[in-house]
């Protein structure tokens, strides 16, 4: 018999992350399309969200995890459009003590609870435009086969043994906690009860004979992996934190529970008295969805990027890579980590009654509006606080006023009566800054704008590579502001189409603004797909002209033909994004009560 104490955890932040894909460095004012390195263009990519517990209905934190993965995946598809090149999985985590207890508390059979809540996640993700290619439920047969096969490999490689495991088990977190992570809380009966320091959920002293995984053998291989690949975990502070954890003791890990205690799970092959630990079961979902144990999985596995919240970093960055190495596979290619949403400064929880329902938010703010809000305001490195006024303020100013207003200014009938993409005049806006002449109208700030928008796709791609999607949106938003400044500066409404002096410059101002809008629309597709579609359709940009490879900004400025010049704009379909503050009676009401 072996006596094992539970894991100790430590978290420490560090510095910033780095880019994953290399791009050709853009020249000053370059209009070169954004292309990933040729070898990377053909490479496959596999994105995953965590699989979600079905003990309670989805909240905005869950949606945020899925949206981050969705935006990364959609951005990748814009770079490498082949439908077969990208896979994206999500799903529900349905086994374990937490679900077994939640079902019992609700008076339901576990399968009933799983069916019900898994359907809620599926519906939410459909409504929110999560473009996953697979939704896995861990109760599926294909998954049981994968988990039992994986278990068999670990067993055959001598990495599992039976031993006595004891420690504080937290059902809510589904893991053993070290003594330092347990505190006493007074209960209603006057006695104190042990709870998890982090989550406040009860812990129970557990001592049983389990199968144990030789995790301790993997400390050095894990350190080597992380030291050899500084971008493995992004943003960098999380990479640093995992390396710090690995400086600590790394005890072996219990990977099964007595079936009499935990019946809701996958039985250990050949030993029905034990049920496989729910985290081992859950992590293998990433292999199940790419066909494991069939050979097909081998070509996808090396391209895997996991998107996870910081609370499950230890499971993904220590246990999972160790299990993979144990089974003869490589650790995941990338682990992208995000922080949490709080509500009015507090952790979101059912017991505090402050859980924000994502479906209400999608209804109130529209799908694109709410996607934009979460991804624009969510910062992976730190927790973010949610409140309704913040959503209204952001969406009104950035989507309704700045972006919608810009589109309206350049396409409205009174300013653009022909309803076409006007011609760019190279004598009004020569490619050399500083030229003087009677017809030159462009000013220094206008060259700054062209430079900013020409380099925007590369900047955005770098931010995606560094998992800083909010910075990508910040960069777009700043260029939108600059473009509004450009239009304001040249006041096209004061110019006259009938005047031979005004007309070429009027056309040029509108052409430049529409070209900027085309870049913004293209770059916003991963975050606000419908709004970007509406914008690009209004500009007359066809479906085959929306990829990053085709994105040649302002080609006439660089001496190339422009396919859009003279083209009819798409039909007028109303405001791009209606202001919310005019329709927010619900918000005022909510504040009065
Ligand atoms: N089932 C495990 C994951 C297994 S993956 C092999 C799990 N599920 S969860 O439903 O609790 O969490 C799923 C994801 O939602 C995690 O990435 C978690 O970080 C994220 N979030 C849960 N609450 C959150 C917030 N309040 N804010 C942001 N994301 C949060 O863990």
The least confident of 24-28, 311-315, 331-335, 488-492 is: 24-28
Q: At what angle do helices 60-79 and 444-465 cross, to 10 degrees?
A: 110
CA of 58 to the centre of ligand 1 (A): 10
* DSSP assignment letter at 431: S
φ/ψ (deg, to 5) at 165: -115, 130
For CATH 3.40.50.620, list the domain ranges present in the chain.
45-338
Q: Which two tokens stand for residue 102?
A: 């939640």
**Predicted confidence band at 38 (pLDDT cuts at 50, 70, 90)?**
very low
Confidence of residue 585 (pLDDT cuts 50, 70, 90): low
pLDDT score recorded for residue 586? 55
Q: For position 583, what pLDDT does the model report?
A: 66
Domain with CATH 1.10.730.10 in the chain: 388-568
* d(CA 341, ligand 1 centre) in Å: 11
Over the stretch 541-561, which tens digit does the pLDDT of each residue have? 999 999 999 899 999 999 999
% of the chain surpassing 90 pLDDT:
82
Higher-confidence residue of 22 and 364: namely 364
Average pLDDT over residues 85-109: 97
pLDDT at 110 over 70: yes
Amino acid 272: pLDDT: 95
Over pLDDT 70: what percentage of the chain? 91
Average pLDDT value over all residues in the chain: 90
Return the CATH number of 388-568, one of 3.20.10.10, 3.40.50.1110, 1.10.730.10, 1.20.1730.10.
1.10.730.10
Cβ of residue 50 lying under 6 Å from some atom of ligand 1: yes
Residue 67: alpha-carbon gap to chain centroid: 5
Q: Is the pLDDT of residue 61 over 90?
A: yes
pLDDT at residue 527 greater than cutoff 70: yes
Regarding the domain delimited by 45-338, which CATH topology (the fold level of the hierarchy) does it fall under? Rossmann fold (3.40.50)
Residue of 465, 456, 472 lying closest to 36 (CA atoms): 465
pLDDT at 270: 97
Q: From CA 161, how far away is CA 431, in angstroms rounded?
A: 71
pLDDT of residue 351: 76
Cβ 58 under 6 angstroms from ligand 1: no
Q: Which pLDDT does position 530 carry in this prediction?
A: 98
Q: Residues 445-482: pLDDT tens digits?
A: 999 999 999 999 999 999 999 999 999 999 999 999 99
Q: How far is the CA of 249 from the centre of ligand 1 (A)?
A: 26
Question: Measured from the CA of 52, which atom of ligand 1 is nearest?
Answer: 10
Kindly state if the Cβ of 115 falls inside 6 Å of ligand 1.
Answer: no
pLDDT interval class at 435 (50, 70, 90):
confident
CA distance 39 to 51: 31
Handedness of CA 284, 285, 287, 292 (dihedral sign): positive
| Distance, CA of 75 to CA of 77 (rounded, Å) | 5
Closest residue (by CA) to atom 13 of ligand 1? 52
35 has pLDDT over 70: no
**Residue 434 — very low, low, confident or very high, per pLDDT cuts 50/70/90?**
confident
Is 0.85 topped by the overall pTM?
yes
Nearest alpha carbon to residue 398 among 461, 470, 315, 447:
470
Instruction: Express each pLDDT in 367-397 by its tens digit.
Output: 999 999 999 999 999 999 999 999 999 999 9
DSSP at 23:
B
Report the pLDDT value the prediction gives residue 487, as an integer from 0 to 100.
98
Ligand 1 mean position to 450 CA, how many Å?
41
Distance of CA 508 from the midpoint of ligand 1 (Å): 49
């Amino acid at each position: 018999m072996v006596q094992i104490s539970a894991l100790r955890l430590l978290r420490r932040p560090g510095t910033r992350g780095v880019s994953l894909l290399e791009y050709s460095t853009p020249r000053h004012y370059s209009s070169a399309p954004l292309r990933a390195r040729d070898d990377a263009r053909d490479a496959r990519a596999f994105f995953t969200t965590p699989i979600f517990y079905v003990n309670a209905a989805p909240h905005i934190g869950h949606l945020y995890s899925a949206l981050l993965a969705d935006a990364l995946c959609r951005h990748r598809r814009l770079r490498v459009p082949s439908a077969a090149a990208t896979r994206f999985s999500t799903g529900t985590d349905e086994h374990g003590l937490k679900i077994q207890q939640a079902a019992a508390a609700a008076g339901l059979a576990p399968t009933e609870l799983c069916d019900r809540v898994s359907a809620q996640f599926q519906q939410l993700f459909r409504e929110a435009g999560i473009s996953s290619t697979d939704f896995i439920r861990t109760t599926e047969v294909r998954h049981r086969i994968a988990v039992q096969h994986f278990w068999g490999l670990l067993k055959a490689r001598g990495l599992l043994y039976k031993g006595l495991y004891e420690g504080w088990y937290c059902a809510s977190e589904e893991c053993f906690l070290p003594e330092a992570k347990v505190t006493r809380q007074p209960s209603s009966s006057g006695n104190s009860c042990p709870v998890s320091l982090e989550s406040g959920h009860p812990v129970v002293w557990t001592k049983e004979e389990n199968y144990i995984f030789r995790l301790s053998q993997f400390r050095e291989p894990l350190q080597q992996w992380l030291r050899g690949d500084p971008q493995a975990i992004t943003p960098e502070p999380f990479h640093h934190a995992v390396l710090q954890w690995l400086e600590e003791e790394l005890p072996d890990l219990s990977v099964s529970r007595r079936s009499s205690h935990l019946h809701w799970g996958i039985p250990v092959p050949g030993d029905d008295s034990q049920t496989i630990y729910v985290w081992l079961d859950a992590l293998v979902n990433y292999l199940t969805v790419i066909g494991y144990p069939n050979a097909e999985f081998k070509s996808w596995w090396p391209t895997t990027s996991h998107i996870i919240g910081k609370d499950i970093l230890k499971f993904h960055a220590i246990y999972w890579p160790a299990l993979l190495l144990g089974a003869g596979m490589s650790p995941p290619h990338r682990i992208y980590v995000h922080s949490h949403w709080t509500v009015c400064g507090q952790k979101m929880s059912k017991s505090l009654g402050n859980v924000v329902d994502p479906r209400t938010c999608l209804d109130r703010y529209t799908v694109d509006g709410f996607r934009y809000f979460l991804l624009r305001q969510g910062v992976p490195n730190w927790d973010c606080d949610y409140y309704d006024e913040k959503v209204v303020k952001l969406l009104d100013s950035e989507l309704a006023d700045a972006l919608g207003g810009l589109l309206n200014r350049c396409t409205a009938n009174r300013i653009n009566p022909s309803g076409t993409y006007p011609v760019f005049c190279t004598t009004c806006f020569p490619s050399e800054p500083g030229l003087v002449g009677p017809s030159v109208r462009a000013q220094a700030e206008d060259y700054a704008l062209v430079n900013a928008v020409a380099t925007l796709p590369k900047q955005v791609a770098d931010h995606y590579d560094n998992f800083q999607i909010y910075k990508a949106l910040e960069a777009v938003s700043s260029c939108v502001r600059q473009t509004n400044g450009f239009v304001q500066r040249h006041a096209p409404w004061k110019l006259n189409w009938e005047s031979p002096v005004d007309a070429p410059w009027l056309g040029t101002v509108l052409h430049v603004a529409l070209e900027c809008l085309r870049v913004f629309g293209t770059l916003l597709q991963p975050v606000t797909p419908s709004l970007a579609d509406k914008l690009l359709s209004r500009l007359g940009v066809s479906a085959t002209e929306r990829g990053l490879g085709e994105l040649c900004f302002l080609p006439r400025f660089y001496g190339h033909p422009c396919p859009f010049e003279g083209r009819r704009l798409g039909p007028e379909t109303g405001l791009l994004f209606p202001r919310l503050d005019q329709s927010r009676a619900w918000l005022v009401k909510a504040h009065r009560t």
